[in-house]
Amino acid sequence: MTTYYEILEISREAPLEEIRTAYRRLALKYHPDKNPGDKVAEDRFRQISEAYQVLADLEKRQLYDLYGDAGLAGLDISGLSGFEDIFSSFGEAFEDFFSFGRSRDRWDEPQPGADLRQPVVLTLEEAARGMDTCLSVERRVSCPQCQGDGSPRQTCSRCQATGQVSQSKGLLKIFTTCPDCQGAGAIITSECPVCQGAGVISEKKQIQVHIPPGVDTGTRLRLRGEGEAGTRGAPPGDLYLEVCVAHHPVFTRKHKDLYYRAPVSFVEAALGTEVEVPSLTGPTRLAIPPGTQPGATLRIPGRGLPGLRGKPAGDLVVVVDLQTPTRLSEQQKQLLQEFLKLKDTGELDGFKGMEA
Q: Which residues bind Zn ion (CB under 5 A)?
A: 143, 145-146, 156, 158-159, 178, 180-181, 192, 194-195
Give how far Cα 28 sits from Cα of 23, 32, 66, 73, Å. Answer: 8, 9, 30, 28
Q: Considering the complex, what minimum distance in angstroms separates the CB of residue 140 from Zn ion? A: 12
Q: Considering the complex, what minimum distance in angstroms separates the CB of residue 203 from Zn ion? A: 13
- Label residue 84 exposed, middle or buried (CB < 10 Å: 0-12, 13-18, 19+): exposed
Q: Considering the complex, what minimum distance in angstroms separates the CB of residue 116 from Zn ion? A: 20
Q: Considering the complex, what minimum distance in angstroms separates the CB of residue 124 from Zn ion? A: 45
Pair 78, 7: CB distance under 8 Å: no
**Residue 185 zone, left/alpha/beta (φ > 0; ψ -120 to 50; rest):** left
Q: Considering the complex, what minimum distance in angstroms separates the CB of residue 180 from Zn ion? A: 4
Which spans in 31-140 are helix H?
A: 39-55, 58-67, 83-98, 124-129
Closer Cβ to Zn ion, 187 or 271, answer by number: 187
Closer Cβ to Zn ion, 26 or 156, answer by number: 156
Closer Cβ to Zn ion, 10 or 192, answer by number: 192
Give the integer Cα–Cα distance in Å for 140 and 116: 10
Closer Cβ to Zn ion, 148 or 291, answer by number: 148
Closer Cβ to Zn ion, 72 or 146, answer by number: 146
Q: Considering the complex, what minimum distance in angstroms separates the CB of residue 174 from Zn ion? A: 16
Closer Cβ to Zn ion, 192 or 288, answer by number: 192
**Dihedral over alpha carbons 50, 55, 61, 64 (to 10 degrees):** 40
- The torsion angles phi and psi of 133, rounded to 5 degrees, stand at -145, 170
